[in-house]
Structure 1
Amino acid sequence: MIGKELIRNKLYNEFIKPTNQKKNFIGIEIEIPIVNLDKKAVDFNIVHKITEKFKNQYSDFKSDGIDYDGNIFSLKNPETDDIVCYDCSYNNIEFAMGKEKDLFTINERFCDYYSFVKESFEQYNHTLTGMGINPYRQYNLNQPIPSERYLMLYHHLKSFKNYQNLPMRFHNYPEYGMFSSASQVQLDVHKDNLIQTINVFSKLEPIKALLFSNSVLLGEDNDLTCFRDILWEYSTHGVNPHNIGMYNVDFKDISELQSYLESLNMYCVMRDGAYINFPSMNLLEYFQKDYVRGEIYCKGNYREIDVKPMLSDIKYLRPFKFINLTFRGTVEFRSVCTQPIKDSMCVAAFHLGLKDKLDDLEEIITTDDVLYHQGYTATELRKILIHDELPSFLNQKDLCNLTKEIVDLASLGLQERGIGEETFLNPLYARIKNHANPASEIKKLISKGVNLEKIIRDYGNLDMVV
């Protein structure tokens, strides 16, 4: 049994203390669906060939992850910390760009890697596209990458049938990590601004739903524009609702944030290089136990094993909130779907531009009566705004004006950086003007009879390099 004070101190050292450093870097991770245009499963042999081709083309990249079959699933450049890897399965490629101080540097390298990989796939009638849900997911083999992390994750997600008498329902897509894709941003945030950053940005989630939604579950649930929210909330990650979604509280200070961290659940640890899954449980409960019964993967099967909790297990705490604290002293924004590829930098530009405009942003939200202060929480508003139709209490024109005011503030924040990064916000102004987002545009095009393959190709085109 480990005392609460030791746990609290460990949480502080892992999550809060790193924010004492004054840095100002940007990190971007973009997950992108791979699509077989023959309407067949993505050919993993082709994926492995292209991985090797990329490694030969970009000789600074070194193997950083090899699966149980001997295939590379992650490559890393030690000079830039750029990582090109596969996320959850070989149906989903990820470009995790090393930290930089400006978006242009990141964009240049991303465009270079993306163009090479996409052109390589197109030689085999495969392609990449900028959608939050793989539009050809029904054809794919939903198999996790045979590695410790991804086998553990899939095993956890498949365990939903083991949870009984919970005040929630589960969807039937435990493989959703293999067909859903996100655009994530990490920003350095100093401890002095940490609480305000989480409080204010949490309230922005409804606006972000309007601007960035891009995950339609084609053929199954066409009503939602950001089905990714549902996939996370109604999975085993959502057994404890504090582990996913929004915070739904305004933190007064760091102590309250620490208490929130104590309310999170754990579901895995690692021993001797192997992951051990166990039923999702509150971390304080976990550390009060002498032993926890879990399951470990061994030679194709799972067997039961008892694990003794150790304080160092805090590093396996894996919340998937819209806004996450990381061990690196960054705040990770992870609620946004992958965007049409030509617009990829607009996500980071939006968050970066607002990061140092917290007082102004808070003033906009505090005084607004178009969206906020109408009897709904920010979480409820987000759930409303990922649907097609606006409810009667919302006026579309007024909502667009509010959204533009926020994007204008982001633009001002970028202008004050003096680099010209505000140009990356142009796609958002177009969306506001057209009362649209990428998901609603997909649905509109399909309703007009536009071929899905054309949409896939258009959303994957990198025809605007800023």
Structure 2
Amino acid sequence: MISHDLVRNKLYEEFIKPTNQVKDFIGIEIEIPIINLNKQAVDFNVVHKITSEFQKQYGDFKADGIDYDGNVFALKNPKTDDIVCYDCSYNNIEFAMGKEKELFSINERFCDYYSFVKESFEEYNHTLTGMGINPYRKYNINKPIPSERYLMLYHHLKSFKNYNNIPMYFHKYPEYGMFSSASQVQLDVQKDTLIKTINVFSKIEPIKALLFSNSVLIEEHNHLTCFRDALWEYSTHGVNPHNIGAYDVDFEDINDLQSYLESLNIYCVMRDGAYINFPSMNLLDYFAREYVRGEIYCNGEYRKIDIKPCINDIKYLRPFKFINLTFRGTVEFRSICTQPIKDSMCVAAFHLGLKDNLDELSYIIDNDDVIYHNGYTASELRKLLIHDEVPSFIDKNGLCRLSGDIVDLAAEGLKERGIGEEIFLNPLYERIKKHTNPGKDILQSIQNEISIEKIINEYGKIY
């Protein structure tokens, strides 16, 4: 058994202490679905060919992940820390851009990589597109990348049938990581602003849903513009609701935040380079046990194994909150769907512009009565605003004004940087003007009998 004090100290060391460093970098990860235009499963042989072609084209990239079949699933450039990899399965490609001080250099490299990969795929009648749910998911082979992490993750998600007597239901898509894509941003944060950053950004999740939703589960849930939220919430990641979604509490101080970290669940650790799954359980309960029974993948099958918890297992605590505190001293914003490719930088621009204007952002929220202060939490408001229609009790014009005020504040923050990054916010102004977002545009296009192929092409354009 490991004492509560030791767990608390270790959580501080891993999550809070790194924020003592004074840095100001931006990191961006963009996941993008791969589509076989023949309306067949993505050809993994084509994927592997293009991975090889990419490495030849960009010689500084070296293999950073090789699966059990000998295929490269991750390439990394040690000079820039850029990573091009496949996320969960070979149906999704991810561009994880190395940290930079500004957005233009990130955008330039991303556009370069994306253009090369997309053009390469098109030689095989495949393509890439900026949609948060793969519109051709029903044709794909939903197999995880045969590697330690992705086999563990899928095994965890498939285990939902083993959970009984818990007050939730599970959806029928344990393979959702193989067809859903996100646009994530990491920003350095200092300890003295950490609590305010989490508190204030948590409150604008409804506005982010309104501006950025782009995950339509076509033919199944055509009334939702961001079905990704439900995919996380009603999976085994959501067994403990504290592990997913927004923070619906205001933290008073670092102690409050640490207590929240203690309330999270853990579901895997590693021993001797191998992942071990076990039923999702509270972190403190895990460390209070002498042994935990889990499952380890070995020679193509899973077998039972007993493990003794050790304090370093905290590094395998992986919640999937809308705002995650990482081991690197950053906050990761992860509630936004992949955007139409030409708009990819608007996600980072929005967060970056608001990061140093927390007091002003808090003032806007505190003085709003269009959606806030009407009896709804931020999480409840987000669930309302991912529908194709805004609820009748919300004034649509007022909602546009509120969204515009927040985007204006982001623009002011970017202008203060004096680099010109506010140009990346232009797509958001266009969405506010038209009372829409990419997910609503997809639903409207389908209603207008515009082909899904035309939408795929439009959302995949880089300019």
Matches within 5 A, 1:213-224: 213-224=213-224
Match of 1:245?
245
TM-score (norm 1): 0.99
Q: How far did 1:92 drift?
A: 0.2
Spell out, residue by residue over 1:404-451, the C-alpha distance to the aligned partner (whole angstroms, 9 max, x if none): 000000000000000000000000000000000000001111111111
Q: How far did 1:391 drift?
A: 1.5
Matches within 5 A, 1:158-177: 158-177=158-177
Match of 1:423?
423
Match of 1:320?
320
Match of 1:231?
231
Report the AA paired with residue 186 of structure 1.
Answer: Q
Match of 2:205?
205
Q: Partners of 2:308 and 2:150 in 1: how far apart?
A: 23
Q: Partners of 2:235 and 2:276 in 1: how far apart?
A: 19
Q: Partners of 1:366 and 1:216 in 2: how far apart?
A: 32
TM-score (norm 2): 1.00
Task: In structure 1, list runs of 5 or more residues that go unmatched.
Answer: none
Matches within 5 A, 1:339-350: 339-350=339-350
Q: Does 1:187 align with 2:190?
A: no
Q: Partners of 1:312 and 1:390 in 2: how far apart?
A: 46
Q: How far did 1:358 drift?
A: 0.2
Match of 2:405?
405
Match of 1:67?
67
Report the AA paired with residue 349 of structure 2.
Answer: A
Match of 2:92?
92
Matches within 5 A, 1:30-109: 30-109=30-109
Match of 1:118?
118
Q: Partners of 1:22 and 1:400 in 2: how far apart?
A: 36
Match of 1:277?
277
Q: How far did 1:83 drift?
A: 0.2
Report the AA paired with residue 251 of structure 2.
Answer: F
SS of corresponding position for 1:145: coil
**4+ residue stretches of structure 1 with deviation over 6 A?**
none
Q: Partners of 2:126 and 2:426 in 1: how far apart?
A: 29
Q: Partners of 2:345 and 2:70 in 1: how far apart?
A: 34
Q: Partners of 2:352 and 2:231 in 1: how far apart?
A: 27
Q: Partners of 1:45 and 1:7 in 2: how far apart?
A: 46
Q: Partners of 2:375 and 2:230 in 1: how far apart?
A: 23
Q: How far did 1:389 drift?
A: 1.6
Report the AA paired with residue 335 of structure 2.
Answer: S
SS of corresponding position for 2:172: coil
Q: How far did 1:4 drift?
A: 0.4
Report the AA paired with residue 7 of structure 2.
Answer: I
SS of corresponding position for 1:416: helix
Matches within 5 A, 1:380-399: 380-399=380-399
Spell out, residue by residue over 1:313-333, the C-alpha distance to the aligned partner (whole angstroms, 9 max, x if none): 000001000000000000000
SS of corresponding position for 1:142: coil
Q: How far did 1:247 drift?
A: 1.0
Q: Does 1:196 align with 2:196?
A: yes
Task: In structure 2, list runs of 5 or more residues that go unmatched.
Answer: none
Q: Partners of 1:388 and 1:44 in 2: how far apart?
A: 35
Amino-acid identity (%) = 78
Q: Does 1:329 align with 2:322?
A: no
Q: Partners of 2:250 and 2:443 in 1: how far apart?
A: 36
Q: How far did 1:34 drift?
A: 0.1
Q: How far did 1:53 drift?
A: 0.3
Spell out, residue by residue over 1:326-380, the C-alpha distance to the aligned partner (whole angstroms, 9 max, x if none): 0000000000000000000000000000000000000000010111000101110
Q: Partners of 1:329 and 1:438 in 2: how far apart?
A: 32
Q: Partners of 1:264 and 1:446 in 2: how far apart?
A: 40
Match of 2:444?
444
Q: Partners of 1:370 and 1:447 in 2: how far apart?
A: 29
Q: Partners of 1:283 and 1:449 in 2: how far apart?
A: 50
Paired residues, number: 463
Match of 2:256?
256
Q: How far did 1:276 drift?
A: 0.1
Q: Partners of 2:389 and 2:108 in 1: how far apart?
A: 38
Report the AA paired with residue 196 of structure 1.
Answer: K
Q: How far did 1:18 drift?
A: 0.2
Q: Partners of 2:362 and 2:301 in 1: how far apart?
A: 52
Match of 2:292?
292
Root-mean-square deviation (CA, aligned residues, Å) is 0.4
SS of corresponding position for 1:110: helix
Q: Partners of 2:110 and 2:328 in 1: how far apart?
A: 22
Matches within 5 A, 1:131-170: 131-170=131-170
SS of corresponding position for 1:65: strand
Match of 1:362?
362
Matches within 5 A, 1:3-18: 3-18=3-18
Q: Partners of 1:461 and 1:287 in 2: how far apart?
A: 49
Q: Partners of 2:390 and 2:331 in 1: how far apart?
A: 31
Q: How far did 1:388 drift?
A: 1.3
Q: Partners of 2:236 and 2:347 in 1: how far apart?
A: 27
Q: Partners of 1:5 and 1:393 in 2: how far apart?
A: 48
Greater alpha carbon shift after TM alignment, 389-398 vs 417-426: 389-398
SS of corresponding position for 2:417: coil
Greater alpha carbon shift after TM alignment, 392-401 vs 273-282: 392-401
Q: Partners of 1:71 and 1:237 in 2: how far apart?
A: 28
Q: Partners of 1:16 and 1:198 in 2: how far apart?
A: 13
Q: Partners of 1:392 and 1:423 in 2: how far apart?
A: 33
Spell out, residue by residue over 1:19-56, the C-alpha distance to the aligned partner (whole angstroms, 9 max, x if none): 00110000000000000000000000000000000011
Q: How far did 1:291 drift?
A: 0.5
SS of corresponding position for 1:248: coil
Spell out, residue by residue over 1:248-284, the C-alpha distance to the aligned partner (whole angstroms, 9 max, x if none): 1000000000000000000000000000000000010
